[in-house]
Each structure stands twice: as structure tokens, then as C-alpha cells.
Amino acid sequence: MQAGPATTAEDKSTMNHERAERRRAAARTVRDLRERLTSAGGTSPAFDQELLRHYAGIRLSAVYAVPLLVVLVALVATVWLKPIPIAIWAVVTLLVHATGAWLCRRFLRSTAERGDVKRWTRIFVASEFFYGLTWIGLLLATSVVHAPGIEIFQFATMLTILAVGTMFASSLPAGAVAGTAPIALTMVALFALRQDVLYLALSFLSIGSEIFFLTLSQRLQSATVGMMRYRAEKDLLIAELGTEKAISDEARRRAEEANLAKSRFLATMSHELRTPLNAILGFSEVMKNEVLGPMQNATYREYAGDVHASGQHLLDLINEILDLSRIEAGRYELNEEPVTLVHVVEDCENLMRLRAGKKDLSITRKVEPDLPRIWADERAVRQIVLNLLSNAIKFTQSGGEIEIRVGWTAGGGEYVSVRDNGPGIPEEEIPIVLSAFGQGAIAIKSAEQGTGLGLPIVQAMMEMHDGTFELRSKLREGTEAIACFPRSRVMEPLAPILEDDAKPRSRWRKTA
């Protein structure tokens, strides 16, 4: 017998633990992203790691393109050098390149901590430096050759390596300098030693090319960091939105649970609240009407009347609260049956005429002919009409007019409208009036203040009938409350059924 509550408690504990874990994960994400966006100078450690991964990815993407370049340069170099030295150089260059690719792949597969970023940076810079030394070896080998076109080959090779090296190492500025600056300085030294105007010009071009490519590499690195920063800001925004959504969902869940608990409590308190009130009303009415004999003191008789009036007001308030609570808790069940809307309106009008007569209000009714019945809860429909009439009578000045209309809607449904020429409601106060316990400024100043539950109950009951409720009002012109029942609740007569030795019988059915 105790397994159920224990299981429920365990499930709730598990759900709370999962929600707490999600909130902690979101908080960690937000903290990490904020750290990535916060840097005292230069790039933050998280960006440094991403830049290294970007560098490793670019290097691996060209793992097969670089050997093609090495083979092409080696084939061209055989025009001036012997094949064996060129082959040795190509093998050494490819080995250095393969080692760098292996290091890049190892880095990408590892989960490097922030403390390992500097170590991997030094490794990659050294790899770029040794790779540049292999090309310096080729340039030094060709420098001892005195043949036409060798200078063009050297300069073209230098420009190619500078362009490729700075492009591949754009995410690692130190690696770009370590891999290309020695090559450019070697060419400057080789051309300067020849002490010729052409070679001096080529020396200056070599320096200018190195500066240009390093500047281009710096721009590429800045663009990459900017892209990462924008992506981190987007992730931070998404993480913060996720955190706020989790907080709002938790708050909404708690509010819904509290509201449901309140509604269930009030819905189950019907008997406990009404029983003592009925006793108060009954005994006070007996004393007020002097059923058991006259009361010698007129003040006591007046007090009994006040007790009865106050008890009736409190009972009406409790009934309205309980009705709204049952609706919110989903415990208000409709007892649906064929209802003639016109007859319900006539009964409600007759009940309210005495109250309207005390304020010298005139009530007129306009009904469209041949209105069929609707499929609804008669008690709920009666309460809807009574609430609308009660509001109109309560807030209309003495000598005013109230008009009741019943007819067809444009969509084939039926409506009931109650219009008065009272003070009206400001447009901005209509949502307040339609909320539970909401009262407008005019209602607060009025001598006949209500509970603020009449219109919310009407709105809730119309929603239960799949209908709509609309409140139209203008200051100093009046208010109109319109309750519309949908076409699906309008019943239309079927053709009469002819039976042997019997009169035709009519039937009714709901429209589709």
C-alpha cells in the first residue's frame, strides 16, 4: 500500500535532480562562454585552443597537396641539379611534412587542457621552423649553380613558399614567422652577396613580399578570431536564453502547481463552507421575519436583517469563487441538453426586473424569430445571462436603459447581447475587468462594488461551450457584452417521421 507514495516521492526526487543538473550544466556553459569572451589582452585561452585546432585542420586539409608541390619543385630543380641530391631533399621535406601532419592529427584527437595549449604552440612553431629549413636547404643548394634562369627559379620558389606558409599558418602567427622569415632572410642574403643592382632589387622585393604575406596572415588571423568571437557570443546568448527558459519553466510549473492546489482546495470546500452559511441564513431569516414570535427590540430585528443580507452576500461570493475554482480545476461538468436560449433570457429578465425597477431602469428585449434550440448546459447558460444582466443593472445610472438581443451570428451560431448606456469602461481596463477579481476604476468608485468574478466566470463557461465572449465599451456611451455560441451547438429540426396510425413526430439534431 505504501509503494505508490514511495515511488511518487522517488520520481519527484529524480525529476528535481535532473532539473538541477540541467540548470548547473547551463550555468557552466554560460560561465565558460563568458570566460572565452573575457581576455585581459590578446586572445583568451579558449580562443587560443580553437586557433590551434583551426591551424591543425588547415594543415591536414593540405596533407596531399604539399607533396605534389614538393614533387613539382624537385622535377623543375633537376634542370640545374643532379637527381640524387634533389631526391634526398624531397624525401627529407616529405618526412618533415608527414611529421607535422602526424602532430596535427594527434592534437585534434587529444582533449588538450588549457595548460597544454602553450606546449602545443611551441611544438607547432618548431614544426614550421624545421619545415622552412628544408626549403632553405634547396635554396642554398641552387645558390652555387651559375646558370641562366636559376635566379627566377629561386625567387619564384621563395614567393610560393611564403604564400603557402603564411596561408596555412594564418591561425598561428608565430608559426608563420618561424616558417617563412628564415626563407626570406636567406634569399636577401644570397641576392645581396652578388652586389648587383638586379639582385639588390630582388632583395628588397623579398623583404617586401615577407612583410606583405605576414600582414595578410595577420588579417586572416584577426578575421578568424572575430568569427570565433561572434560564434561565442551567439552560443552565450543561446545558453543564457536556455538558462532563463529553465528558470521561467520552473517558476511556471510551481505557479501552476500552487494554482491547481488552490483550486482543488476550494473545490473540495463546498460543503464545509456552505453548511454553516445556510444555518446562519436560515436562523437570521427566522428572526428577521419573527416566525417564532415578535421581537420586543427593533434594533435586534434590524441586526437580524443585516446578518441575513451579509450572509447572502457571502454565500453568493463563495458560490462564485467555487464555480471559478471548479472550472480552473477541471471539475465543472456540463449537463448538456437541448436549451431554448430565448426562454432562458426571458426567465432571467423576469428575475432581474424587480431589481432594475428599484433603480428606475427600463429593459427591452429584441429577439429574432424562429431561433432553434442549442445543445448546452441550461444552468450555465442561465448563470451567463444573469451575470451579464446583473452587471448592466449594477453599473447603469438611475433612469438608464438596458437592451437584450438574441439572434443569429454571421457564422450560423446564436448570440445573446446585453447593452447598457452606463458610464462605460476605458479600453485599457477591459483586460483587467475580464481577469479574476479584476475591477475597473468605475467599479471601485461605485457604491455597489462586486467581487470581480462575474465576467471571468462568463468567459470560462463560454469557453467550455466552445463559444466566445466579447466586451465592447466606450466611455460615457455604454457597454455591450456579447456571448456567442458556435454553429456546432445549434440544433436544427429533422424531417418528421411518419408512423402507422400515429401522428408525425419531429426530432432535433445538432448541426455539424
Q: What are phi and psi of 192, to 5 degrees?
A: -70, -30
CA angle 283, 287, 290 (to 5 degrees): 135
DSSP assignment of 372-424 equals: PPEEEEHHHHHHHHHHHHHHHHHTS-TT-EEEEEEEE-TTS-EEEEEEE-SS-
CA angle 201, 203, 207 (to 5 degrees): 115
Q: What are phi and psi of 366, to 5 degrees?
A: -125, 120
Q: What pLDDT is attached to residue 440? A: 62
DSSP three-state, residue 474? strand
Q: Going residue by residue through the chain, which has 512 residues, state the pLDDT in tens, using 9 for 90 and above.
A: 344 444 455 555 665 666 666 666 656 655 555 555 444 334 455 677 888 888 888 888 888 889 999 999 999 988 888 899 999 999 999 999 999 999 999 988 886 555 578 888 889 999 999 999 999 999 888 888 878 888 888 888 888 888 888 888 888 888 889 888 998 898 888 888 877 788 788 888 888 888 988 888 888 888 888 887 888 788 778 878 888 888 888 888 888 887 777 766 766 666 677 778 788 888 888 888 887 888 778 888 788 888 887 887 777 777 777 777 777 666 677 888 999 999 999 988 888 888 888 888 999 999 998 899 999 989 889 889 988 998 888 888 888 899 999 999 998 999 999 999 888 888 888 888 887 766 665 654 554 555 667 788 888 889 988 999 999 888 888 899 999 999 999 987 655 555 555 555 545 555 54
Write down the number of H helices and E strands in the chain: 15, 9
Output the CA–CA distances (angstroms, integers) from residue 140 to 137, 179, 196, 313, 325, in the order listed. Answer: 5, 16, 19, 108, 93
- Report which residue type is found at 470: E
- Report which residue type is found at 378: E
Q: What pLDDT is attached to residue 451? A: 64
DSSP three-state, residue 449? coil
Q: What pLDDT is attached to residue 7? A: 44
* Cβ atoms of residues 148 and 83 within 8 Å: no
- Report which residue type is found at 376: A
Q: What pLDDT is attached to residue 127? A: 92
Cα of first residue to Cα of last residue in the chain, in angstroms, is: 48
For strands 362-367 and 401-408, give the pairing: parallel
DSSP assignment of 90-128 equals: HHHHHHHHHHHHHHHHHHHHS---GGGHHHHHHHHHHHH
- Report which residue type is found at 168: F
Q: Which residue blocks in 289-372 are alpha helix, DSSP H? A: 298-328, 341-358
Q: Give the Cα separation of 493 and 506 in Å (integer).
A: 7
Cell of 461: 463557461
DSSP three-state, residue 363? strand
Query: Over the stretch 258-283, which tens digit does the pLDDT of each residue have?
Result: 777 776 676 666 667 777 878 888 88
Torsion of CA 99, 100, 102, 104, to 10 degrees: 170
Torsion of CA 315, 321, 323, 325, to 10 degrees: -150
CA 263 to chain centre: 28
Q: Give the Cα separation of 371 and 374 in Å (integer).
A: 9
* Cβ atoms of residues 403 and 393 within 8 Å: no
Cell of 365: 428585449
Q: What are phi and psi of 455, to 5 degrees?
A: -70, -40
Name which of 481, 475, 470 is nearest 426 in CA terms.
475
Task: Print burial letters for 422-455: b (CB count within 10 Å at least 16), e (below 16).
Answer: bbbbeeebbebbbebebbbebbeeeeeebbbbbb
